[in-house]
Every structure is written in C-alpha cells, then in structure tokens.
Structure 1
Amino acid sequence: MAQVTFTRHLYRFFPDLTEGSVPAESVAALVRALDARHPGLAGYLVDERGALRKHVNVFVDGEMVRDRRSLSDPLTDASEVFIVQALSGG
C-alpha cells in the first residue's frame, strides 16, 4: 500500500484528513480511494475530467507525477506519495 502524506495547508479545507497506507495501483486509483475516505477531496484535487488542478501537485517517491491528465503514474506497495497544495501570493 502506498504511504500518503499531505501538505498541512490541505487540513484547512479537510481537517479530518488521515495520512497513512492507501491501497492503489495508480495515482488515479489513489485519488478515488482518498475520496472514498474523505468525500469531496477528489473535487479539490482534480477537475471534472480527472486531471490534476493547477494548484495541486502530487509527488511519488520524490518525483512530480508525469501524467497530470489521466494520473496513470503507477504506484507500488513501497511508494511514498506527497500531495501538495501550491501556494501563491501577491
């Protein structure tokens, strides 16, 4: 199972987020599994086509996901996934 962690900024919108093991074979499957645990999270992470939103980055084993459109990047039981809300300011 992939080990998932979140940037602390996501807790502002989803205070009950839990980090830890999630069974998933791809980033897309991970997003679906996380949304089952935390309803509404997928809508924050991906758009209506299932692509990552511009303000969200996902790293697998320290590398940014390559397929931001269909999230087909594979995961293994040893994968470490970090989900980040991009910040901007003015």
Structure 2
Amino acid sequence: MPTVQFTPQLRRFIDTPEVHSRAATLRAALDDAFAPNPRLRGYVLDDQGALRANVVVFIDGERCLERVRLDQPLQLGSAVYVLQALSGG
C-alpha cells in the first residue's frame, strides 16, 4: 500500500503523520493524507488544487513533474515524499 511522508520542515508548522493509503493516484493519496488534518492541504496545495510553488513531491525516488492534475499512478508499495523547498542563504 502506498505511503505518504512529509519532511520535518512541514512538521514544524502542522501535524504530518505518515499515511498509508490504498490510493491509485498521487491526488487520491494526498487526499487521504489531508483527511485527518484538513489544514495540511493549504500547506501543500494552492487554492486551485495544484502543488504550491515551494512544494516538491517524489514518488519512488522520481520527482513528480505534473503539478496540477497530480494523476501520477501509484504502485502497491510506492513511497511518496512531500518536501517543502527551502530558500535563503
């Protein structure tokens, strides 16, 4: 079953437990992750439902390039990592 994990940067602001999902797509897995904590959605998605500019998602080690539909298929053992990009110097 796919697993969705969030980086510690997001955990500083909001509860982000690891989520095990039966979802077949990235969007459905993210929806499962947002279900217990709806505020998390606003940190990851913009008001149009696309990934925020400062958020990057990796699925099984590959960067997710499709940021609007989020319809990338997931496999039974997929690992999804949601990262918030850091800026500064």
- TM-score, normalization by structure 1: 0.89
Count of residues paired in the alignment:
89
Query: After the TM superposition, which residues 53-68 of structure 1 pair with which residues of structure 2 at under 5 Å, given as runs?
Result: 53-68=52-67
RMSD over equivalenced CA pairs, Å = 1.3
Whether the aligned pair in 2 keeps the contact of 1:66 and 1:73 (CA below 8 Å) is no
**1:23 CA displacement:** 2.1
SS of the residue 2:35 aligns to = helix
Following the alignment from structure 1 to structure 2, what is the Cα–Cα distance between the partners of residues 34 and 12? 17
- Structure 1 unaligned spans of 5+: none
Following the alignment from structure 2 to structure 1, what is the Cα–Cα distance between the partners of residues 19 and 27? 17
- Structure 2 unaligned spans of 5+: none
Q: Deviations over 1:56-80 (max 9, x none)?
A: 0000000111211110111121101
1:36 correspondence with 2:35: yes
Identity %: 44
- TM-score, normalization by structure 2: 0.90
